[in-house]
Structure 1
């Protein structure tokens, strides 16, 4: 029985996602459970080095969680031969250059998305990592959500028969920041800083559609900046130059059509912040973050259109809840565990920088589709 140590440099843990999901709910939670069980009595223990630009924030986080190592000097951290993995959760505009440095230093990579600001940059990263012989992964957390895991169970079990369409609704009202503090950082609404809901969410929709239903072959999108004026973290007004809403139609390789609305300017009237309705010949399902409901063809009611009479039945009550049937862990932690096993045990892994580049490609084409007002093909990517 042995405990193996792996040293991970975490860049961007002072941000919301890097801190809550990757540091606290993934790697620190793994340490609290005694490390990652590798089988055969062996465990893997992650030693963490926090990296960032704000010294006081790093010191505070490290002290709060009993971590002894942190640095504002990324170059020095990457020059440390004891570091095995570099993780990046910085703002998008800073990520590409940092990943290049990590590749040059021979570190394995795990990164948030989008991996770069352009498709050319994202593909270049994938090529560099392959040429350097380092292992690389991109966070695709929504694949590990309980609701989507239940949906995949239905797909794999043949519940739907032929899948006809997918309809997705994502979003919530992000306060403008004048009379209530915004829930998202102000850079998200400035295109010059890498902001915009297409850049943020289309990479998610690419891997969800690709993994569950088929490769995206065409995209037609319409973007909007519904809230043109917002207030930043200091209370100063600024002009929103990035899209806060996007309405996309995606044709899939298997023949299904997906429609996904994404908005930070919509008030929620659904059970969860994101929901996907999948309609097939034999049945339908509605999956969210945690829950999934189904209606089989044998239990489908026969609605009759009559606007002159009030509705006498609850349509929602006609759906059946899909049981958990297993214990779900945090999705970010689940993917971290798989990546660590990939690095240490060479177990299979498919969510690499090329997969990340597909997300950047879809975002880039989505913005271009909106600007040109037409549907665009999505070529299959190769290195």
Structure 2
């Protein structure tokens, strides 16, 4: 069986997401399974070139996983023979110039979201990539989570009848960094560094709603900086200039109303860190990262409001579990494999830079809606 190597310049792999999900659980996992078998039987073998700012961190990472290709010089990495793909998991503010350099070097580009700081920059990158004739893609990992794949199966199968509404809850308590270390980097809470939960999460909610439920047509949002001061990685206090919670209302095609709360200042009383409830005329579902439960119209109880008596019904016990019906792999790895096939054998890949730009568009409109205190339409993008 023939084997073909493909070099991947991976920038930002010393960060939490770049390392855990993209290097460890995607690229190295593909190598551990023996590579990626293409339609013609060829085995595609990813060869990562690690890029970052810290020599010490890169060296330690490479030694830990038996890799020898690493550098702090992005230009040098892009010039290495055999490198065909550039991947970016840096902070958002550093992403645009790095992707521009990769496009200029003729590399296909796969990147974390947000694609850019603003819609203008995102569309400029998309058009530049098209002009260069390279393949381009943006990570939209939540589409490949088991819970949301089950939810999509229900939507496609007509389970809900006419969908009425969606309610989403995402978030957890991120420690301030004083008496316990924060589990998110400090730049997330500085607007000048590209931080903020609207910028981060509205990109996710755009592709989730568009692809699983229906296209987003308008947005209302209220943001908040509930924690005004935090402590950074060096133990120094800093002022938080970005929103750490957002409360959004989105109108979708067909008059569907979606309400999604996003917060790094909430404590979890849910089964999973993110959950979506979809209500329709024929049934309802609650989907999280892995689980999805349903209640059909024919099995819906008739509760009666009586605040004078304690509740005796096991409301959660009245729902049914949606079976897996297939084996679910890591969502990041699944999308990586799809992008590799897109590059190597022209397989379809729907989540290009324009899909990423739509996420940036919703985040930008969400921030504007918050500032202006009004509902804003979400227009179609001009490619």
When normalised by structure 2's length, the TM-score is 0.99
SS in 1 for 2:45: strand
For the Cα contact (< 8 Å) 1:213–1:254, is it kept in 2? Answer: no
1:225 and 2:225 aligned: yes
Deviations 1:250-283 (A, max 9, x none): 0012321100000000000010000000001100
Deviation for aligned residue 1:40: 4.0
For the Cα contact (< 8 Å) 1:276–1:287, is it kept in 2? Answer: yes
Q: In structure 1, what is the equivalent of residue 188 of structure 2?
A: 188
Deviation for aligned residue 1:42: 1.9
SS in 1 for 2:179: coil
SS in 1 for 2:255: coil
Deviations 1:218-238 (A, max 9, x none): 000000000001011111111
2:42 & 2:80 partners in 1: Cα distance? 26
Q: Which runs of 5+ in 2 are unaligned?
A: none
Deviation for aligned residue 1:75: 1.0
1:343 and 2:351 aligned: no
Deviation for aligned residue 1:330: 0.2
Q: In structure 2, what is the equivalent of residue 175 of structure 1?
A: 175
Q: In structure 2, what is the equivalent of residue 116 of structure 1?
A: 116
1:145 & 1:187 partners in 2: Cα distance? 27
Q: In structure 2, what is the equivalent of residue 96 of structure 1?
A: 96
SS in 2 for 1:357: helix
Deviations 1:42-64 (A, max 9, x none): 21100110011111100000000
1:253 and 2:253 aligned: yes
Alignment coverage as a number of residue pairs:
383
1:85 and 2:85 aligned: yes
1:281 & 1:58 partners in 2: Cα distance? 54
Q: Which runs of 5+ in 1 are unaligned?
A: none
1:39 & 1:344 partners in 2: Cα distance? 10
Deviation for aligned residue 1:79: 2.4
Deviations 1:157-189 (A, max 9, x none): 110011110100000000001000100000100
1:272 and 2:302 aligned: no
Deviations 1:122-143 (A, max 9, x none): 0000000000000000000000
Deviation for aligned residue 1:81: 4.3
1:107 & 1:352 partners in 2: Cα distance? 15
Deviation for aligned residue 1:84: 0.2
1:300 and 2:331 aligned: no
1:25 and 2:25 aligned: yes
Deviation for aligned residue 1:4: 1.1
Q: In structure 2, what is the equivalent of residue 142 of structure 1?
A: 142
1:41 & 1:369 partners in 2: Cα distance? 51
Q: In structure 2, what is the equivalent of residue 285 of structure 1?
A: 285
When normalised by structure 1's length, the TM-score is 0.99
